[in-house]
Amino acid sequence: SDAHPAVRRHAIRISENVSSPTPRLNAALLQRLSDADASVRFQLALSLGRWDDPRAGEMLGRLAVAGFDDPWLRAAVLSSATRFAGEILKAVLAAVPDSTARSDFIGQLIATAAGSSDRALLGRALSSVAPTGGQQPELWRFQAITSLLDAIARHGVPLDSLADASNADQRGALNRLQQMF
């Protein structure tokens, strides 16, 4: 909580090497989510990717939403997104939908999720971006669907494989997507 942002940024970076962070250290790091200095938030986004704490995904989502207009912060969040793409996507999809930066970020996040080869995560992404029944899809959905289709095609994942047979929501999303086509 030093007054100088460079000291706070360096403290966050050093905390990555702590093998067993204490609740006090975690709380101090979480306070940096709303730090006034952009470089401190940038370092926090980079460092959260090393956390084993399930709250890291939620915190990365909050940083992403708060920093849609900051390409550096978005890049830092994406670099930490591999393990937490689902939680970040959930936060981003809940944000105000009329932002070009949000649409771009959703596409980048879906591409990151596809790179992880986690079919369950891709199935949840499909459910999140597929159009809802009976409504005209918004522009961001078309962009997100395009990103999802491009990403799974690059990784050789068939679209049908994303709908888990035991998951009615994913099967319904796949059906709605096929109707849209």
pLDDT tens string 52-105: 777 888 999 999 999 888 999 999 999 998 888 888 988 888 887 667 788 888
Dihedral Cα 36, 39, 44, 46, nearest 10 deg: 160
Tell me the pLDDT band of 151, cut-offs 50, 70 and 90: confident
The angle subtended at Cα 31 by Cα 26 and Cα 35, nearest 5°, is 135
- C-alpha 55 chain-centroid distance: 13
Q: Which two tokens stand for residue 114?
A: 């596809």
The structure tokens 């709908």 sit at 163
Task: Give the tens place of pLDDT for each residue, 6-38.
Answer: 999 999 999 888 767 788 888 888 889 999 999
Q: Which of 33, 106, 110 is nearest to 68 (CA)?
A: 106
pTM (two decimals): 0.80
- Distance between CA atoms of 169 and 177, rounded to whole angstroms? 12
Which of 168, 73, 69, 157 is closest to 127 using CA atoms? Answer: 168
